[in-house]
Structure 1
Amino acid sequence: RPRNAGDRYRGVISLEEAFVHSSNVAAVRLFQQVGSEKVIEQATKLGLKGPFTEGDPSLALGSASASLIELTAAFAGVAGNSWPVEPHAFKREEQGWFEWLVDGPDSYSSRVHEQMQDMLRAAVNRGTGRAASLNIPNFGKTGTSQDNRDALFVGYAGDLVVGVWIGNDDNSPMSGIRGGGLPARIWRQFMGEAVRGAVPPRRAAPVAPPEEVDPDPAIDPIIEGEIEAQVGGANVRVTPDGLTISGDVGGAPVAVTVDGNGAQVERRRPEPPAPPGQ
């Protein structure tokens, strides 16, 4: 009998909303409509080894075990729209165009792939993965197993795919640990250092109920027109496209531009004073 976390039910919702808020009930209903055979077939194509029990609705909630590297490789296939992805320890040459044409990997249509990415992006923007949000587009999904024995966040940004798992060696339950908490924060801190431009915020945004979260300004701007002001000797200009700060900050000329795709910073130090007597 699948239950949503906190026994919270939203009534009739879209597939994207179900994905964003990790609705277990919606996942099982979708599984029943699609059929276990197709779900197992696609999971196997993505590189997951199972074992899978055909006809078992709990597969929709992740009851088939998978290693972290298997799961991360499956996300890599979704990220690149080409699978299966075979993990290996050292770099090696990829297939040439002729081999790819002959032995070409599976992929979604461009439209289906776009929809998959929309759901993964929404989960980070306004869903259970908000704690993993970066200042560049990133995509991912949380996971929490029964009794909080496993907590996961797997996602990608730029050209890097990373999976974070937290659990006890003896598989005992963890108190209050969920995929959208500590694993998502670890993922964000690592990706902020690993991917150029993906600097995470200094402090995680407060987690509010999904209905109270502001829309992504890159999708639905909440600023109309332009606002200009002076703050501490610096000129501040805000538009629907982003934020620009220029002027002297802390005695040094600074120009900062922030938009929906990240931040670009240029800073020039003032010339040192001339030695006495010159």
Structure 2
Amino acid sequence: MGFWGAIGSAALAAVAFIVLLIAVFSTKASLPSFDELKSSPNGQMIRVHAADGTVLVSMGPSYGEWVSYDAIPKVMKDAIVAVEDRRFESHWGVDLWGLARAVRTGIANRGSGRRLQGASTITQQVARTIFLSNKYDLGRKLREGVLALAMERKFSKEQILELYLNKVYFGGGAYGIDAAGRKFFGHAADKLSLAEAAIIAGLVKAPSHYSPTADAEAAVGRASVVLDVMAETGKISHATAGATDPRTVKLAPEPKQNSVRYFTDWALPQLEVLIDETDAPLEVWTTLDLGMQRAADDAIRANSPGSAQGALVSLDRDGAVRAMVGGKDYVASIYNRATQATRQPGSAFKLFVYLAALEAGHRPDDMVVDEPVTIRGWTPRNNSGRNSGEMSLRSAFAYSINTIAAKLGQEVGFGTIADMARRFGITTPVDTHPAMVLGTSDVRLIDMTRAFASVASKGVAIAPYGITRVTANGAVIYSHEVDTSHVLVAPYVAAQMTDLLQTAVNTGTGKAAQIGRPVAGKTGTTTSNKDGWFVGFSSGLTTGVWMGRDDARVVPGLQGGTAPARAFQNFMVKAVARRPVEQFETKVTLPEWQIEPEDNAYYEAPDNGLFVDEDGNPLPREQEPDKGRPPEDRIDQDWLDRMTGNEPPAPQPAPTRAPPPRQQTIPAPSQPREESPRGEDQERPTQ
């Protein structure tokens, strides 16, 4: 380089230095005071309340008490300085030696994709924590350096270290040493021992990786490194470092994660579309009833077969979620089977088949014929493999007769049934092949529960919700409003459906769900007992229960009328105990198959099941789930024929519709059928 080149370089360096000085001192002038920096938040804290105001969970950052510099244990200050910034006392905010070393390391590792490591001082980390994001680029590093230089001009080293130790993130949602001490060791920061201080100091490099609650071995290993560095820098003696064993530190027990977290995990993401506030601490008030939640948890754990999972959702009459259980153990599995899992509903799907049939003009007492039927090459069979001839629509629903459901589907149209399911809130795809009437399309438990709740509300759409209001700094920024304007079916159609659902519980497959007051509901069981369902309502509360294995393997003995119905019963007895008994508009009318009480073994039999493969084709007889079932759990068709007075039907065709019924239990609509409400509510699905 020549003379003029050297002059030019010196001039550029002088200009750059002047620019840097101007930037540093202008930044210094704009910096907040120390007291203002102490009060600045690190993130948004969210507290979630149950319906009675009890705090369910605190989300987001956790802050302990502010610890002044003099109150911070010396071992904590020494540990953090030794491992994070050993020249903290001597540099001006940016460590040129550390930066040079980091650049050399970066050059040696270029092409590896690794970032520059070891270049940030404690002051730079404070600047980044308070003023900048974690985005890694050259512009941010330059701003970080200028801020650090400015902070060193405005604040003392003690103030900077105090800010750092009270604001840096230590993992587990804990910001600052006091929050970390309380979370990991169960006591305040002023009582930290050398070993505890070493563990906390070691967390800064990678809070999630070195967290003692996540990986105790990694945390101990990192703490040992911190102790060695403290000895190397003269903060402690080598003898003290050798005598200190981080493995002897007693960790505070982790708070138990119960089933409430299934609910909060479902409800809280909805805040993104409900509110715009992203900084102020939030108080979120929810619909969850803690008493019902405990009852739901107990019911699922007590009744789910050993190898199976269980889920439960309970909705109040306005759609408020009062209880939600997504599995038997949240700690073992956070997967929410109530809202995320999609499973075949079996005969519970017949709700939509019969809704479509009732809307098309059928009545509960219409006579239909249980007979062999083939539709597009598909021949559905009943659980017994036999047919029982003429019966009412009420009986067909109560005993979940497959052939009748298939004939109704053919009559009203499989696309019409799919539209009815979507209208009532089924958000998953619904097939339109004939076997769909037996529940071959995957659904979510919360959607099925919503559909039954809409029937309970006399045909008015119910939308599940979990958040009632949100406040920020004492002001209400969101309040839920219930919409009751969306009518799905005419009230008399919903009343007739309730009539059928009552019969299913009183004398049919859902008998185990009786709770000593009016109940309406439906069972569901899928192929080879892979899924069991019960969904029903009483006293303004609609509850859905699903049970099965996550891998969809067979669960011996699982039918909708057994464990799921019992779980429903266990839960609902407690859930409605303080609610007044409510009668339905329709009285329970026993089907013509009603028999003497001592001969009721048939009613304890499982639901009809789903004897089709994944494509809706019939399974070979030897693959059906009742093969190999203990004799006492199978339907005795000969006994059934004797008790009902029905002989096996003749092979000749028989009409699917019969003359007007002998008795009408549901009053006919006051207006002609063609004038009943339809409009767009029946033209498009409800989401």
Instruction: Name the TM tier (shorter chain).
Output: 0.5 to 0.7
Shift, 1:176, TM fit: 1.6
Q: Secondary structure of the residue that 1:12 maps to in structure 2?
A: strand
- 1:236-271 alpha-carbon deviations (Å, 9 max, x no partner): xxxxxxxxxxxxxxxxxxxxxxxxxxxxxxxxxxxx
Q: Out of 60, 67, 91, which is 2:437 matched to?
A: 60
Q: Does 1:181 align with 2:562?
A: yes
**Superimposed CA distance per residue, residues 70-101 of structure 1 (whole angstroms, 9 cap, x where no aligned partner):** 11011111111244422222233313xxxx5x
Matches within 5 A, 1:223-262: none
| Residue-pair matches, total | 196
CA shift digits 1:98-120 (9 cap, x unpaired):
xx5xxx31233232222111100
Which residue of 2 is the match for residue 13 of structure 1? 391
The CA distance in 2 between the partners of 1:161 and 1:196, in whole Å, is 14
Counterpart Cα distance in 1 of 2:382 and 2:455: 26
Return the letter of the residue paired with 2:425: G
2:481 aligned residue (70, 90, 93): 93
Q: Does the CA contact (< 8 Å) of 1:135 and 1:197 recur in 2?
A: no
How big is the shift at 1:127? 0.2
Partner of 1:75: 452
Letter in 2 for 1:71: M
Corresponding residue to 2:595 among 191, 208, 212: 212
Aligned AA (1:106)? V
How far residue 170 of structure 1 moved from its aligned partner, in angstroms, is 0.8
Please list every run of 5 or more consecutive structure 2 residues that lacks an aligned counterpart in the other structure. Answer: 1-378, 469-479, 580-592, 598-687
User: Is residue 46–residue 83 contact of structure 1 (8 Å, CA) maintained in 2?
Assistant: no
Query: d(CA) in 1 for partners of 2:545 and 2:430?
Result: 23
Partner of 2:541: 160
* Matches of 2:395 and 2:578, distance apart in 1: 29
Higher helix residue share: 2
CA contact (8 A) 1:150 1:166 kept: yes
The higher radius of gyration belongs to 2
Q: Return the letter of the residue paired with 1:212.
A: I
Q: Tell me the equivalent position of 2:507.
A: 126
- Segments of 4+ moved more than 6 angstroms: none
CA offsets per residue over residues 188-247 of structure 1, 9 Å max, x none? 01000000268xxxxxxxxxxx64355xxxxxxxxxxxxxxxxxxxxxxxxxxxxxxxxx
Alignment-derived partner of residue 45 in structure 1: 423
Q: Contact between 2:424 and 2:488, CA under 8 Å: does it hold in 1?
A: no
2:403 maps to 25
Give CA deviations for 1:23-60 in whole Å, capped at 9, x if unaligned: 11110110000001211111111011231233x11110
Q: Secondary structure at the match of 2:509?
A: coil
* More divergent stretch after superposition (21-30 vs 85-94): 85-94
Contact 1:152 1:178 in 2 (8 A): yes
1:147 partnered with 2:528: yes
Q: Is the 8 A contact 2:520 2:537 kept in 1?
A: yes
Match of 1:241 in 2: none
Distance 2:397 2:496 in 1: 12
Q: Tell me if structure 2 keeps the 8 A contact 1:81–1:107.
A: no
How far 1:12 moved relative to its partner? 1.5
Contact 1:134–1:192, Cα closer than 8 Å, also in 2: yes
User: What is the CA distance between 1:130 and its match in structure 2?
Assistant: 0.5
Whole-Å Cα distance in 1 between the matches of residues 414 and 500 of structure 2? 22
| Partners of 1:186 and 1:3 in 2: CA distance | 28
In 1: Cα distance, 2:596 partner to 2:554 partner:
30
- Which amino acid is the alignment partner of residue 38 of structure 1? T
* Whole-Å separation in 2 of the counterparts to 1:213 and 1:45: 40
2:194 matched to 1:194? no
Q: Are the equivalent residues in 2 in contact too, given 1:45–1:83 (CA < 8 A)?
A: no
- 1:50/1:213 Cα in 2 relative to 1: closer, same or farther (>3 Å)? farther
The answer on 1:138 being equivalent to 2:516 is no
User: Which residue of 1 is the match for residue 133 of structure 2?
Assistant: none
Q: Which has the higher contact order (CA 8 A, sep 6+)?
A: 2
Q: What is the identity, as a one-letter code, of the residue corresponding to 1:105?
A: H
Change (3 A) 1:75 1:213: farther
- The DSSP-based 3-state class of the residue aligned with 2:520 is strand
Q: Report how far residue 146 of structure 1 moved.
A: 0.9
Which segment drifts farther, 76-85 or 16-25?
Answer: 76-85
Unaligned residue ranges in structure 1 (runs of 5+): 199-209, 215-278
Which AA in structure 1 matches 2:451?
A: A
Query: SS at 1:7's partner residue?
Result: coil
Secondary structure of the residue aligned to 2:512 is helix
> TM-score, normalised on structure 1?
0.66
Task: Check the 8 A contact 1:136/1:197 in 2, yes or no.
Answer: no
Secondary structure of the residue aligned to 1:52 is coil
Identity, in percent, stands at 37
Query: Which amino acid in 2 is paired with 1:177?
Result: L
Kindly indicate whether the alpha-carbon contact (under 8 Å) linking 1:126 and 1:213 is maintained by their aligned counterparts in 2: no
Q: CA deviation at 1:65?
A: 0.6
AA partner of residue 148 (structure 1): N
CA distance in 2, matches of 1:8, 1:112: 31
Q: How many angstroms apart in 2 are the aligned matches of 1:84 and 1:160?
A: 15
Distance of 1:168 and 1:6 partners within structure 2: 25
Which structure dedicates a bigger proportion of its chain to strand?
A: 1
SS in 2 for 1:135: coil
The one-letter code of the counterpart of 2:404 is A
Give the secondary-structure state (helix, strand or coil) at the position aligned to 2:421: helix
